[in-house]
């Protein structure tokens, strides 16, 4: 009995201890559950929502690029793309094989899709092809029962409405490369495009806009169940150009893929009304993605379609530079407008002989006659008297040899050579023969078509420092600008303008065949023909080969600068035709058609004055004494 009693007491103590332990565990569990469900409820509710709700960034519509009248030049259009969801496709290879019979798919596409299918989760859509035509979309939709997992998705794609006609101004957008990822989450969105050239590149941030967001409900695997909320992104800002779209298209068609460039400017405001580099390219190709064959065609073209020749092409200006030489000599007083210099067809400096383009010579000519007939001998002597430093200084005052800050990538400066420049660059002293060659715009002298247009505008507007611009002020307003004088006496400018008038409208003018017959629309200008090869003494003796007898690359460049109308100048133009031969035959007729067209357009649809120029009168003493 005693033993049974002790055993009972031991059992009771053990039961009590076990019961106490259980009670302690249950109270601990209850306390923990209270803490989690009551004290920490808000925190865990948030965490649960974050697992259930996924925030996704939405690409904003890219801002439009429009001309001066507000007409769209770059816009967005619907982009139909075919996507495939691997988990719904079953055997992905079979589905892709069926799809390839409806839309073209290369080996590269196959490899990319299969690679992405292995890397991504099975329910994530994979882009098969973008920029599908409506016919492609219709064929895919009709065959949907036989294409499991294939869907049509709709997005936006950049569209350059006029293609190659304004490509060098617009530039293009393309996919973001790894080195361009800067932390902006927009850049990591599939298919997002950024500006890579032209206006698209310079104004990329303004055109991008701000991203939107989408709240979607997902399951534990991350599969989208439904969209809960959506906030569209803020579209990019619109960029307004000074370009007149009608004129831009007219010039592009006129050049007809010739290797050439044209710039048309308002001589008072500096607005660039047209800027064409030819041949061109279709910027839509870069947006859609170039294949290797297309890229090779572009970069191997000897006429350089990817180069904006209007701002990046550097050329000897030839005889179009003679106005700068004339004014430099007039300012120095080394020559007067009435001074006559005899041209026999050539002149000598030591043992070197310098030839005029006219073999028999022009006889005795004064300044206006020399400009009219483009007498080289006259300007050899005029340059010798003026000196290279004065000539280069005049060129810079007219807008050459330095950046004009147009705001487009790859603008070149050209070169106005001086004695100091040559010693620093080549460690050689300047030679008088080099000054004489510079007098006809060759040798070391280099300019761009844009600079030639600015030079012409500054002469035409009475000697005011107008600068070119291609984008209207970002705030959309354009206040009056005050133009500064370049310090050339009005009578000197008038002599040069008279000579340019005679070039086109005079009896002996080198461009008289290109004159504008319309009363009140006459143009003035200057031709230029630039050698790109050296003519040997033996060739001169046997007869210089004509341009059409030479390979294209060895033919002379053809240039022309002009303004109109003569009596009240408003528009300036520069034309450069690479290896075009004679400036009077190849470039002047183009300038005539362009200046006539821009004046007609201004009458039929007045060019809006996006900004007014306010200039001060130039007095006779405004001439600057340049050392």
- For the annotated catalytic residues, the residue numbers are 319
Question: Can you tell me which residue has the tokens 């890219």?
Answer: 62
Residue 162 near residue 140 (C-beta atoms within 8 A): no
Q: Per DSSP, which regions of 408-485 are E strands?
A: 481-483
Closest by CA position to 168, among listed 313, 350, 55: 313
Both tokens of 173, joined, read 């957008």
Tokens 């006429």 map to which residue? 303
**Block residue for tokens 């183009």:** 590
Closest CA to 325 of 361, 263, 357, 370: 370
In whole angstroms, give the CA distance from residue 100 to residue 118. Answer: 20
SS3 call for 611: coil
Residue 306, by phi and psi: left (phi above 0), alpha (psi -120 to 50) or beta?
Answer: alpha
DSSP H helical ranges for 80-133 = 86-89, 92-100, 107-119
Q: How far is CA 26 from the centre of its chain?
A: 76
CA distances from 479 to 429, 476, 482 (A): 48, 10, 10
Nearest 10 degrees: CA dihedral of 383, 460, 310, 439? -10
Question: Tokens in use for 188?
Answer: 């990591």
DSSP code of 402? S
The answer to whether the beta carbons of residues 132 and 80 sit under 8 Å apart is yes
Collect all residues with Cβ–Cβ distance below 8 Å to 381 and sequence separation of at least 6. 341, 347, 439
For 345-384, letters b (16+ CB in 10 Å) and e give eebeeeeeebbbbbeebbeebbbbbbbbbbbbbbbbbbbb
Q: Which of 364, 376, 410 is nearest to 531 (CA)?
A: 376
Q: Exposed, middle or buried, 154 (CB in 10 Å: 0-12/13-18/19+)?
A: exposed
Paired tokens of 570 = 């408003």
Q: Which two tokens stand for residue 115?
A: 């690679």
| DSSP state, residue 60 | P
């Amino acid at each position: 009995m005693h033993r049974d009693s002790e055993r009972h007491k031991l059992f009771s103590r053990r039961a009590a201890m076990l019961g106490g332990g259980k009670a302690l565990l249950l109270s601990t569990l209850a306390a923990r559950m209270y803490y989690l469900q009551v004290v920490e409820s808000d925190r865990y509710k948030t965490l649960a929502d974050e697992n259930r709700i996924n925030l996704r960034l939405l690409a904003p519509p890219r801002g439009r690029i429009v001309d001066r009248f507000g007409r769209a030049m770059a816009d967005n259009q619907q982009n139909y793309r075919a996507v495939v969801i691997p988990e719904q496709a079953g055997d992905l290879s079979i589905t892709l094989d069926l799809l390839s019979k409806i839309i073209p798919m290369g080996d590269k596409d196959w490899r990319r899709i299969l690679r992405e299918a292995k890397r991504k989760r099975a329910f994530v859509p994979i882009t098969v092809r973008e920029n599908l035509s409506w016919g492609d979309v219709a064929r895919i939709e009709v065959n949907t029962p036989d294409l499991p997992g294939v869907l049509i998705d709709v997005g936006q794609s950049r569209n350059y409405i006029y293609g190659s006609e304004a490509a060098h101004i617009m530039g293009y957008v393309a996919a973001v490369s790894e080195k361009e990822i800067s932390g902006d989450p927009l850049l990591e969105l599939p298919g997002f495009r950024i500006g890579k050239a032209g206006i698209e590149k310079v104004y990329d941030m303004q055109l991008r806009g701000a991203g939107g967001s989408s709240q979607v409900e997902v399951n534990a695997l991350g599969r989208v169940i439904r969209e809960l909320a959506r906030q569209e992104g803020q579209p990019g800002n619109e960029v307004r150009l000074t370009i007149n779209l009608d004129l831009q298209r007219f010039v592009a068609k006129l050049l007809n893929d010739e290797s050439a460039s044209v710039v048309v400017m308002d001589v008072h405001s500096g607005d660039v009304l047209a800027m064409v580099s030819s041949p061109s390219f279709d910027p839509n190709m870069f947006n859609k993605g170039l294949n290797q064959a297309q890229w090779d065609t572009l970069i191997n073209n000897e006429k350089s379609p990817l180069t904006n020749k209007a701002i990046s092409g550097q050329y000897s200006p030839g005889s179009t530079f003679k106005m700068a030489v004339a004014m430099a000599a007039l300012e120095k007083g080394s020559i007067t407008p009435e001074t006559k210099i005899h041209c026999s067809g050539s002149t000598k400096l030591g043992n070197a002989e310098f030839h005029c383009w006219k073999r028999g010579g022009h006889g005795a000519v004064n300044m206006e006659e020399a400009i009219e007939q483009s007498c080289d001998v006259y300007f050899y002597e005029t340059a010798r008297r003026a000196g290279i430093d004065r000539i280069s200084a005049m060129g810079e005052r007219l807008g050459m040899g330095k950046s004009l800050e147009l705001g487009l990538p790859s603008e070149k400066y050209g070169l106005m050579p001086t004695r100091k420049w040559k010693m620093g660059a080549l460690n050689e002293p300047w030679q008088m023969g080099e000054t004489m060659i510079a007098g006809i715009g060759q040798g070391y002298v280099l300019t761009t078509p844009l600079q030639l247009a600015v030079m012409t505008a500054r002469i035409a507007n009475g000697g005011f420092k107008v600068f070119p611009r291609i984008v209207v002020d970002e705030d959309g307003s354009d206040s009056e600008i005050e133009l500064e004088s370049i310090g050339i006496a009005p009578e000197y400018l008038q002599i040069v303008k008279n000579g340019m008038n005679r070039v086109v409208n005079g009896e002996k003018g080198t461009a008289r065949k290109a004159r504008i017959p319309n009363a009140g629309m006459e143009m003035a200008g200057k031709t230029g023909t630039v050698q790109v090869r050296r003519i040997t003494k033996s060739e001169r003796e046997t007869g210089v080969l004509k341009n059409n007898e030479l390979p294209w690359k060895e033919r002379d460049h053809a240039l022309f600068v002009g303004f109109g109308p003569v009596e009240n100048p408003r528009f300036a133009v520069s034309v450069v035709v690479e290896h075009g031969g004679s400036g009077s035959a190849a470039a002047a007729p183009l300038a005539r058609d362009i200046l006539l067209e821009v004046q007609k357009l201004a009458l039929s649809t007045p060019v809006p004055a996006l900004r007014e120029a306010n200039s001060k009168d130039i007095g006779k003493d405004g001439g600057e004494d340049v050392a």
